[in-house]
Amino acid sequence: TSTVLMLSHCPHTLICLHLRSNSHALQHLNVRSCRSVTDGGVKAVAEHCAGLQCLDVRSCGSVADEGVGAVAEHCAGVQIDCV
């Protein structure tokens, strides 16, 4: 089964990401405009969700090359929206 998690504009994203970071079924994650999302949170998702196919981190000011790089490294073929 495909798992889609839509958290755009969610003020409690760190808690949500921590709860979902162990989900190997997670394929689509949208955290667009979530100011609490950081490189560390994105790296945790990347390390635990190798099946991730699509990640939207647009307008997440605390996500930079480190987080995006971790996703690219751990999640083969992932589509990342980060601009």
Among 14-23, 44-53, 69-78, where is mean pLDDT lowest?
14-23
Pairwise pLDDT comparison (55 vs 50), residue with the higher score: 55
Whether residue 31 has pLDDT greater than 70: yes
Neighbour-count burial of 56, counting CB atoms closer than 10 A to its CB (0-12 exposed, 13-18 middle, 19+ buried): buried
Whether residue 67 has pLDDT greater than 60: yes
